[in-house]
Amino acid sequence: MATNNPAADQDTHFFGDVCKNFDYAAQFTKHDAGLLDQIKSCNSVYRFRFPIRRGNGFEVIDAWRVEHSQHQSPTKGGIRYSEMVNEDEVMALAALMTYKCAIVNVPFGGAKGGIKINPKNYTIQELENITRRYTVELIKKNFIGPSIDVPAPDYGSGEREMSWIADTYATMNPGQLDAMGAVTGKPIALHGIAGRREATGRGVAIAIRECVSVGEDMQKIGLLPGISGKKVIVQGLGNVGYHSARFLAEFGALVVGLCEFEGAIYNEDGLDVEAVFQHRKATGSILGYAGAKKEFKNSHDGLEQPCDILVPAALENQITEANVKNIKAKIIAEGANGPTTPEAEAIFYKNGGIIIPDMYANAGGVTVSYFEWLKNLSHVAFGRMNRRFEENTNLNMVNMVEGITGVALTPLQRSTIIKGASELELVNSGLEDTMIRSYHEIREIYINNPKIGTLRSAAMVGAINKIAVSYQNLGIWP
Ligand code: NAD
């Protein structure tokens, strides 16, 4: 619940945890202490409050926007709508965005926003008022704009909220040609991009598939290589969790457990993710789903069931010293930001597991947000200029090969070869390429320096080195 002093009721260890990982990783770099300090600190922390009309009275809303690092512009990061959000959390999430963008080579600095409300307690009109007023407050302080700071969805927000932000920003900036680039994660009808909605989950699934494809790494943790048949438990059936589960099943994994805040369900023979999703939509709960063999009233019991891979995709601090020893998975793939505490991570690695860290695993969202921003600045959909040209070129080639060889292709073969790429195909291909390349960049650092110890620290070493180059390019550090 909001207090009169939101800074006072904050839980203060999430940003500290991110900084701890930074400090540890920094030992494996050779940068000046001042530069490291500059990279680590949050550059701008804007805390504000505004009133909204509710019923016959008013309510004062607490909100934040944190720009962690402007080594690249604009800064970028989602807006969290949660009654638990606090300044420390927004700072931690903003910092993670800086490192995440560096890891996947997206040329943005990191930022994050927070609005301290439980969206379920507000009408759509009230949510619209809150979102529009939040945006106006950002505009007043120059904390939003296509070249300044570009928000996106996060926990508790989605396309609807992003379209209110885009509309408010465009209204307050008449004639600004690139106004739609001030926010990403918009609906496709409002200058969004195909594939953004599912991008984070698709990225998580690709990250896991890539990790389990490396035979020698799997051997070390006692798993067979390959995604096929791997047993997975996913926590959170929201944007990230639902799509992660869906794509993992599509890639051949067996989703055996799903956990939501009302409870968890399990079936070692696999759950139909879409059917569970529809069941929850219809009944308001995953409990009572006919295809489950076990049900748990305590959602956390679901995390401790037998599986190969656990995907926490809800909130931070889900895997702690208290429950990590009961986790059966060999791989934790962090769909959410900060789901594993540093203490739990150390125990998990000691027990022979491996963690695919949030900074990399859930970077698919910001990667496709980058593509959306590029589309907004170029004012043209991907594929529009070259699709037909590509198809004509391919058609000429097929006709020529058929003519020379005398072999006629089937209609299916012809259309498969000839077809030019759609926006969705280009986005998915860019996302897949990014996730695969980045995984191997991180793994290379991890393998080449065993003292680093975790994929998280390896990812951080890579991020620090790239951000340091940006500062050097700006001429700030030698
Ligand atoms: P969301 O609001 O769409 O979904 C979160 C889901 O988690 C909800 O269904 C909620 O009921 C469930 N949940 C809440 N508490 C739970 C608990 N204790 N146990 C089980 N389930 C619980 O949010 P989202 O966008 O999917 O974000 C989830 C996480 O992923 C957050 O940490 C967010 O920062 C991170 N993330 C999101 C994106 C994105 O593109 N949306 C990108 C990167 C990272």
pLDDT tens figures, 345-367:
999 999 999 999 999 999 999 99
Number of domains composing the chain: 1
The Å distance, Cα 382 to ligand 1 centre, comes to 29
Per-residue pLDDT, 474 = 83
pLDDT digits (tens, 9 = 90+) for 245-300: 999 999 999 999 999 999 999 999 999 999 999 999 999 999 999 999 999 999 99
Residue nearest ligand 1's atom 15 by CA: 261
Q: For ligand 1, what atom is nearest to the CA of residue 241?
A: 26
Assess if residue 255 is contained within a domain.
no
Residue 317 is predicted with a pLDDT of 92
Please tell me the residue having the least CA distance from ligand 1 atom 35.
336
Residue of 82, 100, 184, 240 best suited for mutating to test ligand 1, as the one with most atoms within 8 Å of CB: 240
> Looking at residue 319, what DSSP letter applies?
B
The reply to whether 401 falls in a domain is: no
Active site residue 220: no
Residues having CB within 6 Å of any atom of ligand 1: 153-156, 200, 235-241, 259-261, 299, 313-315, 335-337, 362, 365
Span from the CA of 340 to the centroid of ligand 1 (angstroms): 14
The CATH number of whichever domain residue 325 belongs to comes to 3.40.50.10860
Range of the domain at 48: 1-230+308-380+436-478
Residues 6+ apart with CB under 8 A from 454: 345, 349, 355, 357, 446
Closest to 383 (Cα-Cα) out of 336, 419, 342: 419
Does a structural domain hold residue 8? Answer: yes
Distance between CA 348 and CA 68 in Å, rounded? 29
Q: Minimal CA–CA distance to 130: which of 11, 138, 369, 190?
A: 138
Q: Report which protein residue has its CA nearest ligand 1's atom 41.
A: 154
**What residue numbers does the annotated binding site for substrate cover?**
76, 100, 369
* pTM of the full structure: 0.94
Residues of the chain with pLDDT under 70: 1-12
| 148 within domain boundaries | yes
